[in-house]
């Protein structure tokens, strides 16, 4: 599991190093010297600026050499530290054009083992526009990953709330399903349709399952115990509301009906695996809010509120 996870992260970094360009990562303000500078001058500058090498430019800003901390140490060793660098500096400089991708820069760092690469205007020119280190690349990668993470978070924030347009539509025309008496074959139909509907709206799995369970149990209750009724589902910004209405005969004692295991279902219904006296307790467990009203004259109204992502 851990290995898979780190691989996924690497995929993202891999994509990024192909997308991002050298010019996105490079440092534009570069400390540089002319070939008439001495090793001593460069040594002071390296120390002061805490860097490990500098490019040597001609008067037209073309890169003509590099002097690194190693070169300075060698100059100290061999006693030419006060000489001009033009006699000794590396003239065969590896550079990289600013429009190249980071992946080619990384390859060059690996191949030549340099700490820094002077960046040129384009592949035909030696004019320097910046300098690039592995540190610059890592910095940009971290920044890009952070930006992506922030975008994902914003999107998730948006997704956990439903759009106003959708809510308006659902309140104008709530989803409404007739449930017939003793129609066990089709029972589960409402739960199934609602489940697909919520999946399409990108509602999270857990919320969808809770809504489906409430719909299923309410549907079974209407089918087993009543003369028939309907289930409607409406959406609010943070909630899904399920209303189950039947046309009677009503629940004589609601407290008793809420008790797990209490049932009035017939032997025939129980043989099918229904009427175990767990319907209402299941609904109660899944709902964040539950209202149940019943009258022996008009029937029963059940209203369950489920918080999205709650």
Partner 1 sequence: MKLNQIVDHCSLKKVVFLSDEDIKTGYCGDLMSDVIAHADNESIWVTVQAHKNSIAVALIKDIKAIVFTNNVEISMELIEKAKEEKINLFSSKNNSFQICGLLYQLLEGKYYQD
* Binding positions for partner 1, rule: CB under 8 A: 184-189, 191-192, 195, 205, 209, 212-213, 216-217, 220, 272-274, 276-279, 281-282, 285
User: Which H or E element spans position 293?
Assistant: strand 289-295
Residue closer to partner 1, measured from CB, 132 or 304: 304
CB of 271 to partner 1, least distance (A): 9
CB of 201 to partner 1, least distance (A): 17
Residue closer to partner 1, measured from CB, 188 or 248: 188
Residue closer to partner 1, measured from CB, 272 or 296: 272
CB of 182 to partner 1, least distance (A): 13
Residue closer to partner 1, measured from CB, 131 or 269: 269
111, 114, 125, 56: which is closest to 88 by C-alpha? Answer: 56
CA separation for the pair 244, 221 (Å, rounded): 9
CB of 214 to partner 1, least distance (A): 10
What long-range pairs does 73-79 form, CB within 8 A, spacing at least 24? 75/39, 76/39, 76/43
CA separation for the pair 174, 208 (Å, rounded): 17
Beta strand 96-97 pairing with 116-120: parallel
Rounded to the nearest angstrom, the gap between the alpha carbon of residue 298 and the centroid of all alpha carbons in its chain is 49
CA separation for the pair 127, 119 (Å, rounded): 8
Tell me the C-alpha to C-alpha distance, in Å, between residue 186 and each of 51, 136, 181, 221: 76, 63, 11, 13
In the three-class reduction of DSSP (H, G, I as helix; E, B as strand; rest coil), residue 305 is classed as: strand
Residue closer to partner 1, measured from CB, 47 or 206: 206
CB of 281 to partner 1, least distance (A): 8
CB of 240 to partner 1, least distance (A): 15
CB of 270 to partner 1, least distance (A): 8
Torsion sign across C-alpha atoms 237, 170, 194, 268: positive
Token pair recorded at residue 297: 């004259």
Residue closer to partner 1, measured from CB, 86 or 285: 285
Residue closer to partner 1, measured from CB, 66 or 257: 257
């Amino acid at each position: 599991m851990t290995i898979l996870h780190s691989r996924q992260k690497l995929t993202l970094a891999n994509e990024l190093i192909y997308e991002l360009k050298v010019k996105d990562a490079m440092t534009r303000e570069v400390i540089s010297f002319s070939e008439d500078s001495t090793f001593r001058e460069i040594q002071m500058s390296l120390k002061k600026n805490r860097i490990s090498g500098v490019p040597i430019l001609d008067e037209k800003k073309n890169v003509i050499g590099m002097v690194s901390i190693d070169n300075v140490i060698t100059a100290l060793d061999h006693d030419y530290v006060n000489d001009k660098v033009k006699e000794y500096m590396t003239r065969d400089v590896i550079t990289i054009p600013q429009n190249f991708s980071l992946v080619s820069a990384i390859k060059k760092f690996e191949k030549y083992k340099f700490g820094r690469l002077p960046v040129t205007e384009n592949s035909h020119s030696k004019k320097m526009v910046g300098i690039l280190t592995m540190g610059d690349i890592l910095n940009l990668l971290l920044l890009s990953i952070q930006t992506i993470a922030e975008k994902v978070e914003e999107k998730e924030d948006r997704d956990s709330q439903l759009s106003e347009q959708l809510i308006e539509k659902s309140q104008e025309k709530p989803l409404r399903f007739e449930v017939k008496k003793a129609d066990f074959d089709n029972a589960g139909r409402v739960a199934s349709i609602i489940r697909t509907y919520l999946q399409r709206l990108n509602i999270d799995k857990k919320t969808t399952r809770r809504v489906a369970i409430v719909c299923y149990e309410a549907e079974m209750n209407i089918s087993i115990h009543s003369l028939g009724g309907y289930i409607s589902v409406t959406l609010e910004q943070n909630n899904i509301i399920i209303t189950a209405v039947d046309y009677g005969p009503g629940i004589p004692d609601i407290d008793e009906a809420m008790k797990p295991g209490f049932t009035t279902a017939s032997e025939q219904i129980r043989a099918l695996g229904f009427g175990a006296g767990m319907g209402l307790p299941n609904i109660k467990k899944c709902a964040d809010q539950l209202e149940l009203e019943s009258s022996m004259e008009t029937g029963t109204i059940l209203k369950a509120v489920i918080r999205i992502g709650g």
